[in-house]
Structure 1
Amino acid sequence: MSITLSSSLSVIRYSIIILSAFISMYIYPYDNYGKFTLVMLLFLSLTVLERSLHNLSAKRLILCVEVIFSAWLCTTYGHLMLFVSLSTLLSYAFLPAVSLLRLMAFGIHLVLLNLAFQHEQPLWIICTNLIFLLLSILLSLLRHATGDRKEIIHLYDELRKKHYELDETRKRLVEFNHQVEVAAQSSERQRIARQLHDDIGHRLIRVKMMMEAAIQIMPTDAPRGYDMMLQIRDQVSDSMDNMRNTVKRMHPITSLKDEYAIDRLLENIGRETGIHTSLTIEGTPFPLYPSIQIVLYKNAQEALTNALRHGQATSIEVLLDYQDNEIRMSVSNNGIVGEPPAQGKRQLGMGMSGMQERIQLVGGSVDIRWAYPFTVVTRLPVYKSSEII
């Protein structure tokens, strides 16, 4: 039983005992009010002693004395002592005892009350039994409710503990992934450094030697020296291209989101080809799973390639629509619209087939609209983080 419930029941019990004693003094004419007051103070002292004890066996012993004492009070000091006797239920009904023992305590208490009021009218005895039984049932229900509440609190604490453990595991996993990424980048940088030394370094040494040879040849054999200078130019051009590609590869990818960013893809396509590109976002954006993000990027890349290669488009528009259960990406272009493939006569190209295969892996669908403007619509199911708990 929780401390708050125990304190509340104790206050209720003390209040019942004190009120019953004061009301009895005004209703019933006792021969010795001092003795009555002493007896009630003794009973109240037993209740305080029972509450202060921590030994379960001692508690049960004091409660047995209280039950017998309260039955004697009912016999000696009148009907209102029934409430004093019933107040004992508030204590032993919540003891951590076996159900059978608790039922035996209820039965003994009820028998003692019937013995105490055996000379009263039958209607009073019936009312006494009904009040006792109803109060016993209510206290039993309250005990079960308290136990269920404690179990719910325990389960909540366990769930919160598991949540913290999962959160710590997730943090460690993110940290481990970061370490793996850093290690991979370090290994890649070492490989690029070796490539710079073995390839570009040797090329530059060869160019230097060719330039020295050209300087010696030019005064005496100008045509041959000119041919050698052209070779040097080609060597330098190849070295510059190789250096440019190597430097591009040295830029670390900060995250999957940066590597597969559709806006960056459109920006690169527009800068390299000169066509107009635009990206429109509808709905409220939310984080996507890596598989969904990669499929969207690959499909957008394939749609852009087809628009440039086959449609000769000069303008491409991409629409990302974030919905509750899916994300929809529409890639439209103003290029040449071909005839839709007739079923059984013409198959989709490898690019479109690859798009369909990727989408099927994540449970999505693709829709090709052959009317102007030519549009490829990708629909993928999504799940927000609040739905996966």
Structure 2
Amino acid sequence: MTRELNLLRYVLIIIPAVIAIYVYEYADYDMFTLYFLLLLLLATLGSKIPPRFAIVPGALELLYTVWLCQQYGALMMFPAISAMLCYSRLQQKHTAAALFSLHLVVLNIALSGSSAATIAISNLTFLLSAALIVQLLRAGRGRTDTLFLYDELRRKHFELEEARARLLQFTAQVESAAQAEERVRIARQLHDDIGHRLIRVKMMTEAVIHTLPAAPEAGMGMLEQIRDQLAGSMDDMRAALKRIHYAPQLEGAYALDRLLEEVGRDTGIATNYKVQGIPFPLYPSIQIVLYNNAREAITNALRHGKADSVWISLSYLEYEVRMEAGNNGRLPGEESLLRLENGGGMGLKGMGERTALLGGTLELNPEPQFTVITRLPVYRQRESLEV
């Protein structure tokens, strides 16, 4: 029982007792005081008992207050209402209703010697008090439920914060894994592409040494090829070193915008960036995959497609985010396209692996312009979608 209800019980016992002393004349005020002190003691003990055992003190108070009504008149109706507060908190509602009915019957029996008006007023007071007590109990249960829901909400909030911390940790691990994978891929590219090209340059240089004295024109042609090979190797080396040292601070669509801006500034080609749908925050892991796939698609467009224009379209959909990276370079032949669709080179395989890691798909669309499409699922609550 709450503190407020306990205070109300004491008020319903003490105030009528004080009024009765001044209004009525009793033969023995000491016994009258003793009876009410016993009632206060019984009420105090009843408030300490758990609600599931409240039937015992409730029944005792019920009988005791009925006896007081019989002995000291209708003013003792208010201590009877205090007893009703005691047994009304029983968890078994049928038991509480049965005690209420019994209480009303025995009260009318105890007041049978009083006037009809006194009995009617006492019954009306008792019934109105019962209705008020029901409303008080409902309000108390509502407050208890509110506090329980608040505790549950706070617990869920702590769980969400813990899950968010774990998600951020996982995101950092995914980003580190993606960066390590990218460095491995660049190391392989340095070994495979630039290393092989330097080997060819060395062999061509030896051939020039033997050819130049006998055939100057052929030797000069071979020297021009060596120059072109070295220039291409230097460009690949700069691009690889830039990828190793450049660590973009991903901020969703803005990272892709900066990527296109840098590509346009460094190469002089035309770039275009477009966003469709209503943007919403993306997990860092999704941003990493989109950024790396876009960069790989642009690199392939410049290297293999000889494109002079690239574009990126990012679409925010209800259950996924879709990125299309296209270019106006030359289209691959049937054999090349078949090889790309079957996995392609190391760069395309890396794009597919990164996308599959997040449950997405990677598609190639050769018409009308060669386009790489990355689809990644997003998970958002329904409430956020309806806002």
Q: TM-score per shorter chain, which class?
A: 0.5 to 0.7
Displacement of 1:114 in angstroms is 0.9
Match of 1:17 in 2: 13
CA distance in structure 2 between the aligned counterparts of 1:213 and 1:275, rounded to whole angstroms: 40
Is 1:68 aligned to residue 63 of structure 2? yes
Match of 2:89 in 1: 94
Taking the TM superposition and a 5 Å limit, the aligned residue runs for 1:103-142 are 103-142=97-136
- Indicate conservation of the 8 Å contact 2:57/2:86, yes or no: no
Displacement of 1:190 in angstroms is 1.5
Displacement of 1:133 in angstroms is 0.8
CA distance in structure 2 between the aligned counterparts of 1:105 and 1:156, rounded to whole angstroms: 34
User: Secondary structure of the equivalent of 1:119?
Assistant: coil
Amino acid at match of 2:25: P
Match of 1:145 in 2: 139
Residue 187 (structure 2) aligned to one of 180, 193, 205: 193
CA distance in structure 1 between the aligned counterparts of 2:140 and 2:205, rounded to whole angstroms: 94
Counterparts in 2 of 1:270 and 1:191: CA distance versus 1, 3 Å = closer
- Indicate conservation of the 8 Å contact 1:211/1:232, yes or no: yes
Gaps of at least 5 residues in structure 1 are 280-284, 299-349, 363-381
Match of 2:3 in 1: 7
Displacement of 1:125 in angstroms is 0.7
Is 1:41 aligned to residue 37 of structure 2? yes
CA distance in structure 2 between the aligned counterparts of 1:95 and 1:387, rounded to whole angstroms: 45
- Indicate conservation of the 8 Å contact 2:51/2:90, yes or no: no
CA distance in structure 2 between the aligned counterparts of 1:203 and 1:14, rounded to whole angstroms: 99
Deviations 1:78-135 (A, max 9, x none): 3322212221112111122x22111111011111211121111111111111111111
- Indicate conservation of the 8 Å contact 1:286/1:384, yes or no: no
Match of 1:257 in 2: 252
Deviations 1:316-356 (A, max 9, x none): xxxxxxxxxxxxxxxxxxxxxxxxxxxxxxxxxx779x9xx
User: Secondary structure of the equivalent of 2:74?
Assistant: coil
Displacement of 1:45 in angstroms is 1.5
Counterparts in 2 of 1:286 and 1:193: CA distance versus 1, 3 Å = closer
CA distance in structure 2 between the aligned counterparts of 1:49 and 1:158, rounded to whole angstroms: 32
Match of 1:85 in 2: 80
CA distance in structure 2 between the aligned counterparts of 1:264 and 1:41, rounded to whole angstroms: 86
Displacement of 1:32 in angstroms is 1.7
User: 21-30 or 249-258: which moved more?
Assistant: 249-258
- Indicate conservation of the 8 Å contact 1:70/1:85, yes or no: yes
Taking the TM superposition and a 5 Å limit, the aligned residue runs for 1:236-315 are 236-250=230-244, 251-252=246-247, 254-255=249-250, 257=252, 260-262=255-257, 264-266=259-261, 268-269=263-264, 272-273=267-268, 287=281
CA distance in structure 1 between the aligned counterparts of 2:220 and 2:135, rounded to whole angstroms: 106
CA distance in structure 1 between the aligned counterparts of 2:68 and 2:227, rounded to whole angstroms: 119
CA distance in structure 2 between the aligned counterparts of 1:385 and 1:271, rounded to whole angstroms: 43
Amino acid at match of 1:32: D
- Indicate conservation of the 8 Å contact 2:58/2:83, yes or no: yes
Displacement of 1:139 in angstroms is 1.1
CA distance in structure 2 between the aligned counterparts of 1:16 and 1:8, rounded to whole angstroms: 12
CA distance in structure 2 between the aligned counterparts of 1:149 and 1:53, rounded to whole angstroms: 21
Displacement of 1:200 in angstroms is 1.3
Displacement of 1:10 in angstroms is 1.1
User: Secondary structure of the equivalent of 1:50?
Assistant: helix
- Indicate conservation of the 8 Å contact 1:117/1:125, yes or no: yes
Counterparts in 2 of 1:123 and 1:55: CA distance versus 1, 3 Å = closer
Gaps of at least 5 residues in structure 2 are 295-366
Match of 2:321 in 1: none
Taking the TM superposition and a 5 Å limit, the aligned residue runs for 1:210-225 are 210-211=204-205, 214=208, 225=219
CA distance in structure 2 between the aligned counterparts of 1:67 and 1:208, rounded to whole angstroms: 110
Counterparts in 2 of 1:184 and 1:262: CA distance versus 1, 3 Å = closer
Displacement of 1:62 in angstroms is 2.6
Displacement of 1:224 in angstroms is 5.5
Q: TM-score, normalised by structure 1?
A: 0.64
- Indicate conservation of the 8 Å contact 1:46/1:62, yes or no: yes
Deviations 1:1-60 (A, max 9, x none): 5xxxx2111112112212211111111112222221122112211112222334854x42
Counterparts in 2 of 1:255 and 1:351: CA distance versus 1, 3 Å = farther
Amino acid at match of 2:111: F
Match of 1:321 in 2: none
Report the identity percentage.
40
